[in-house]
Amino acid sequence: MKVKATFEEVFSRIPGPVTAEWPMGERFAVALAHGTMSVEYYAPIGLDPQTPHEQDEVYFIHKGTGELVIGNDRHSFEPGDCLFVAADVEHRFENFSGDFGTWVVFWGPKGGESGCGRVEENS
């Protein structure tokens, strides 16, 4: 089982395959995966075309600045910030700098863990 991933190795695989959603190549690469958990590096250019995910996710901002739009709410970010998005919720990055890149962790069941325990909200 792989237990370590480096930014350099993961980022070297971006862009990934060309798809209908990613005509210039996928802007993410999987770093680690185990069970329901996966860690990816995400580095969109210009626009963020992502759609809601089936699992809960946490973004750990690595480089750059911008805003994460979740529903109608905007959350500015900078390196070192950590942002949570629940499963199946519309979200996208906007107004991000050209060097923007983030680690993202997906985990848990499809539909998220909304009924599984306590969630604290700190804004």
Q: Is residue 85 part of a domain?
A: yes
Residue 69 contacts residue 91 (beta carbons within 8 Å): yes
pLDDT score at 122: 56
Q: Is residue 1 part of a domain?
A: no
Query: DSSP letter string over 75-119?
Result: EEE-TT-EEEE-TT--EEEES--TT-EEEEEEESSTT-STTSS--
Q: Is residue 22 part of a domain?
A: yes
pTM of the entire predicted model: 0.90
Q: Is residue 115 part of a domain?
A: no
Q: Is residue 120 part of a domain?
A: no
Mean pLDDT per block of 10 residues along the chain (123 residues) reads 95 95 93 97 95 96 98 96 97 98 97 68 54
What is the CATH classification number for the domain harbouring 56? 2.60.120.10
Q: How many folded domains does the chain comprise?
A: 1
Residue numbers of the domain that contains 19: 7-107
Other residues' Cβ atoms within 10 Å of the Cβ of residue 25: 12
Q: Is residue 68 part of a domain?
A: yes
Q: Is residue 121 part of a domain?
A: no
pLDDT score at 121: 57
Q: Is residue 21 part of a domain?
A: yes
pLDDT score at 1: 84
Specify the DSSP class assigned to residue 121. -
